[in-house]
Structure 1
């Protein structure tokens, strides 16, 4: 039987601040264990937390970007649970009065558009990192992550397929990077997701029992976890067995989820206002000050590309969707004289095709913005033609060399001397008597044959426009 799936997502975005959420501890990643820690992060007796003002501003910025309400009255709460990676025995989070409520994010899933309602986005501190050595039967705790500022972005269960979940998450991932509030580095845990999944027979029934899959840091794993949970829960319902409300972990090797613990509800965490932190009052002046610092958002950038550069809606959307692509395009367009629409075409058709072929994100491409700009300059100055440029782009990916150096080493410069091209044309025509007679008798489609032969003789280096012009002059005389 086919079931209706309801998916709600909780994303933990690590904010880009220089100090932690409630202490002056540094937030550098990849340092030696337990070296980026302040007494508050360790839960030392007598220490008091102080709210990070930069984190508040970043939360407000996110709320403004998705049309959410910014609460003027906010408070922090203690969320109590006992794990070794939580030195205080509680986490400072927000419960009844978060910074952000009731937003909306629109996304594209292929050619279909959709939207997800943001229930809330609240600030909290991260836990420490546990490392388990099963052979030695020991666990180790690295407190460097303890106290890192997080913005937890919680959706309503508005998502009904794995592909829509990924489309929303990629849109959100891009948005927080556009805003500059999170680096989005999933490998380092800067953008993690908990997935809540339930099934029901149809939309007329109430929501089913919710299963949470924790700490997913890969779009691929999130999609696999959702697909596995749908299959697992479907089988249980088909066999008339109950779906347990629980928290599960995704096993990357087997591609399955495994039980971790029974799912806690709010009463289990014994939330209460943190007595060590004052109520946070956010004024309209505070909100307006953040609004004035807002960067250009993806949908605004798309509109600018369409208005300023006369790009199609499709091209503008592709270029503006990913902040790395947009920055790359803006920098190249400002530094080369090649027509902007051609630059857009080279990025969308050729460069993005290489990222798909090599399965890397745009930020990981081995071609620098300067090298790509130089390639565009070579095309504009007619040193090389499009065919050679396409081959060069692939070589640049493999060698990380500048295009001008490759052109010089391989003798790829375009032939633009009319005398040289005319000599190539003459050589071709001397071996094409039948084709010339047929062309002059009305078979004008043979013109492409002559162009192809001349380009072949020049090893693709003859300037195409000039070659066409000179061949036409020869045949019409």
Structure 2
């Protein structure tokens, strides 16, 4: 599985990603306060979240279960014992003056995420995934800053990769795949606009074979488009600096989507700056193997296993099978249409082609497709049994997408049935050959493109109603 890419201006790019995934519990990680988004400021912050003296955190079992689900999904080790630590730093939106996180012994250790960039398969290894609480939010209005502590204590699973990615395209596809996975296993709603899925991207550059360069961390990216832009800018900024004789300084930077540039926010801290130590208010987190097995039994079929099944059951290529399992809705649509039509490869082609194009153009998800799976299956069935040619099937699809209706009724109303009268086809082909003598000469002189041109003229003469295979066969006979 490739993790290589072409050099950029003679430099190799090295990327690692830390993703803060908000877990889908109804209450916070150490208190009973609601995690619902959009409440009035400071209406969902209990005495525990406010860190009032004498309050103690109590672990949310649902958050731990979601961490276990993730560990199983990526093939990681779920630690039988993990430790919570205090990560000390001082921000207005951090009431305790420290964040409860995990450091030396995280709950999830190792694992990997596999994905495709184009048709090339990639694998990114994970270092860890650890449970922690979110901070509050500083709200800036004019010359004033307020603090909203509704988010304080919201449960997060921070997922950390090895520095395995070598391009912005790899980083974005990894993030997309992870985004779909956490929704697939129902541990996160994936709402990036609400901050449920946020990525910090570490970028460095080096000459091939050299040691790792100094990294800069692009903080809080909540859009795949912005992630790509931020990485591209940062790569070129670092190379420009090095080429001009400068040295990259480790730092945390922010991306400005209005300018398309990154800017330094602060010098990047190391672990020592946070003065980690075990939290004395929380005992070690102990996860019995019986609990892990209980969670395993409740897991849905995972995307990679479903893709393998689609390859085995429906003879799909690995690339197609991966795209058909990019999310649950797409997988369900494909499988329904594949079973009903009996032509799974054609279904995959339509989903990757016409359906995808229309959904993107109209800003729709597959769940909101204007042509549902049973209808697409009927249309593909008419292609497979020779009732209509592929070009005319697209005309039927246009009507279905715009107006709905019945596949067979549209075929009849538009007079789109395939012509199977070989006598009529031979007459039309004779006319095509007579009108295209130059193409006939070029074909007989060895130019294969001329044959395709004749096929095109024949299909045009039959208004797309001829069976392309029949036309191909008859034309070859006529040309000797």
Mark yes or no: TM-score above 0.5: yes
SS class of match (1:228)? helix
SS class of match (1:62)? helix
Distance 1:122 1:320, change over 3 A: same
Q: Deviations over 1:42-99 (max 9, x none)?
A: 3344332221112112212222222222211112112222222222322111111110
Match of 1:54 in 2: 62
- Confirm or deny: 8 A CA contact 1:371 1:402 kept in the other structure: no
Mapped pair 1:169 → 2:175:
yes
Q: Which runs of 5+ in 2 are unaligned?
A: 1-8, 438-443, 445-450, 476-480
Distance 1:415 1:224, change over 3 A: closer
Distance 1:367 1:279, change over 3 A: same
CA distance in 2, matches of 1:449, 1:190: 52
- Confirm or deny: 8 A CA contact 2:343 2:380 kept in the other structure: no
SS class of match (1:145)? coil
CA distance in 2, matches of 1:138, 1:406: 65
Mapped pair 1:344 → 2:352:
no
Distance 1:338 1:282, change over 3 A: same
CA distance in 2, matches of 1:65, 1:324: 18
CA distance in 2, matches of 1:375, 1:132: 50
- Confirm or deny: 8 A CA contact 2:379 2:407 kept in the other structure: no
Match of 2:302 in 1: 297
Mapped pair 1:38 → 2:42:
no
Match of 2:262 in 1: 257
Counterparts of residues 269-280 of structure 1 (less than 5 Å): 269-280=274-285
Q: Deviations over 1:136-174 (max 9, x none)?
A: 312233333222211101112222222222232222223
- Confirm or deny: 8 A CA contact 1:384 1:412 kept in the other structure: no
**CA deviation after TM superposition for structure 1 residue 327, in Å:** 2.6
- Confirm or deny: 8 A CA contact 1:375 1:403 kept in the other structure: no
Counterparts of residues 108-187 of structure 1 (less than 5 Å): 108-133=116-141, 136-187=142-193
CA distance in 1, matches of 2:249, 2:222: 24
Q: Which runs of 5+ in 1 are unaligned?
A: 473-477
**CA deviation after TM superposition for structure 1 residue 365, in Å:** 6.8
CA distance in 2, matches of 1:229, 1:453: 51
SS class of match (2:406)? helix
- Confirm or deny: 8 A CA contact 1:131 1:141 kept in the other structure: yes
SS class of match (1:26)? coil
Cα RMSD (Å) of the superposition? 3.9
Counterparts of residues 334-413 of structure 1 (less than 5 Å): 336-355=340-359, 358=361, 363=365, 366-368=368-370, 371-378=372-379, 380=381, 386-394=390-398, 397=401, 399=402, 401-404=403-406, 411-412=413-414
| 1:104 counterpart (84, 89, 112) | 112
SS class of match (1:321)? coil
Distance 1:102 1:337, change over 3 A: closer
Q: Deviations over 1:235-260 (max 9, x none)?
A: 22223323222111011111111111
**CA deviation after TM superposition for structure 1 residue 409, in Å:** 12
Match of 2:250 in 1: 245
CA distance in 2, matches of 1:132, 1:380: 58
Q: Deviations over 1:348-388 (max 9, x none)?
A: 232123345x395x7367415x7342243255368876434
Match of 1:94 in 2: 102
Mapped pair 1:220 → 2:221:
no
- Confirm or deny: 8 A CA contact 1:99 1:121 kept in the other structure: yes
Distance 1:45 1:364, change over 3 A: farther
Mapped pair 1:236 → 2:241:
yes
Q: State the aligned residue count.
A: 450
Mapped pair 1:310 → 2:315:
yes
- Confirm or deny: 8 A CA contact 2:200 2:217 kept in the other structure: yes
Match of 1:283 in 2: 288
- Confirm or deny: 8 A CA contact 1:425 1:454 kept in the other structure: no
Match of 1:475 in 2: none
CA distance in 2, matches of 1:130, 1:138: 10
Match of 2:3 in 1: none
CA distance in 1, matches of 2:43, 2:408: 47
Match of 1:25 in 2: 33
**CA deviation after TM superposition for structure 1 residue 395, in Å:** 5.2
Distance 1:108 1:380, change over 3 A: closer
Larger CA deviation: 291-300 vs 44-53 = 44-53
